[in-house]
Copies of this chain bind each other. A is one copy, B any other.
């Protein structure tokens, strides 16, 4: 009896060919398609897997888990790799790996396979995650292994009755989930060229956005969005609705020359209407509710967490430890943020919180002022003392305080 392999199946040409190629190697293939919000026709994908040779085809709706356990971490840590990229694919890979391993264990498979090439980040994320979750499973990377040109792949597909997609000359390479959409290749490879409108799908171009803003209110509890415009919704639903309304206003286009883990620079275009809107809103609520020391140190944690996730180490113990810090900071991030969506902007116009640390009586310049101005005299003297001593020593050769 052939050994089983669980393949991360997308319905596209590469993974369809991979089914046949894995069969050539003697495996029985279980195709597994994860729905993390890419908006595909899952029935079609499911049956296509069987059609091109899979022994079994599984579709798993992981949208809720993706929102609650992956996207939420990215939101609360304001994760923007290199200040720009909201970790779209980097977030879904560990979840997909987890589901593949679960299926492999249920089915008694000996291996898990993914369709990544040898020069992206996703191969790292899949393989490190799978090894972390079950070191006994083999990992196969058919596309990286066969090393075919496009023409050779099409030849092989034709010979094996694998349908060739009609949009084969689509110049873009897309990945999408609830947290956004990434796009690379084609004309984008020239960093001097502007991305063409065809590169975008979730957002209107600025020229085509409405001339009237939308105003939304997002309510947070424990750092988690719980209400949109006064309606309790799951995070998954909030993200979906925001992708629509913020996308309509052109929010969340990102054009990024990016340093991949595997050592090269690539040019990527992202669209993340909900992610950008939520990160902005959440940051503003933190500005109101986090004490200064936490606000100033949290970015160190954020940057590390972002790097760890980008680099495929979601299942490293470091991720958990960083989340230990993060969780503590979110306990009082509660309140409401009012956002104006307009012309590509998600502008936070107002924020309020039962735990607001902003104190008008301390901040005001009116007669209500409760701040002790004389305290500043002593503060400044001691704050500047090291600099003053240094200046005295170096200008005069002696301390002259």
Q: How many residues does chain A have at the interface if contact means C-beta atoms less than 8 Å apart?
A: 136
Min CB gap A85→B, angstroms: 11
Identify which of A37-45, A65-73, A307-315 touches chain B. Answer: A307-315
A159 at the interface (CB under 8 A from B): no
C-alpha spacing A262/B298, complex, angstroms: 20
Identify which of A27-35, A52-60, A230-238, A367-375 touches chain B. Answer: A367-375
Q: Given that A317-B329, A320-B328, A379-B379 are contacting pairs, would A400 and B135 also be in contact in the complex, using a CB cutoff of 8 Å?
A: yes
A332 at the interface (CB under 8 A from B): yes
User: Within 8 Å CB of A165, what residues of B?
Assistant: none
B375 near A377: Cβ-Cβ < 8 Å: yes
B394 near A132: Cβ-Cβ < 8 Å: no
A325 near B315: Cβ-Cβ < 8 Å: no
A385 at the interface (CB under 8 A from B): yes
C-alpha spacing A22/B83, complex, angstroms: 48
B189 near A360: Cβ-Cβ < 8 Å: yes
B394 near A355: Cβ-Cβ < 8 Å: yes
A9 at the interface (CB under 8 A from B): no
Identify which of A104-112, A175-183, A221-229, A280-288 touches chain B. Answer: A280-288
Q: Which chain A residues have a beta carbon within 8 Å of chain B's beta carbons? A: 82-83, 117-119, 123-124, 127-128, 131-133, 135-136, 144, 147, 149-150, 173, 184-185, 189-195, 206, 255-259, 261-267, 283-284, 287-288, 290-301, 303-304, 307-308, 311-313, 315-318, 320-329, 332, 338, 340, 342-345, 347-352, 354-365, 367, 369-397, 399-401
Min CB gap A118→B, angstroms: 3
A265 near B304: Cβ-Cβ < 8 Å: no
Q: List 19 A-B contacts (CB under 8 A).
A: A128-B384, A128-B388, A131-B388, A144-B374, A192-B338, A194-B340, A194-B349, A259-B292, A262-B382, A264-B362, A265-B357, A267-B363, A291-B317, A293-B318, A294-B317, A298-B321, A321-B328, A362-B389, A375-B378
Specify the chain B residue showing the minimal Cβ separation from A206. B343
User: Within 8 Å CB of A388, what residues of B?
Assistant: 128, 131-132, 135
User: Within 8 Å CB of A360, what residues of B?
Assistant: 189-190
Contact partner of A191 (CB less than 8 A), chosen from B259, B288, B365, B387, is: B288
Q: Beyond the given A265-B288, A343-B343, A354-B397, please list 12 additional residue pairs across the A-B interface where CB-CB is below 8 A.
A: A82-B295, A118-B374, A119-B376, A123-B376, A131-B388, A131-B391, A173-B365, A265-B362, A291-B387, A300-B304, A323-B328, A343-B345
C-alpha spacing A172/B296, complex, angstroms: 28
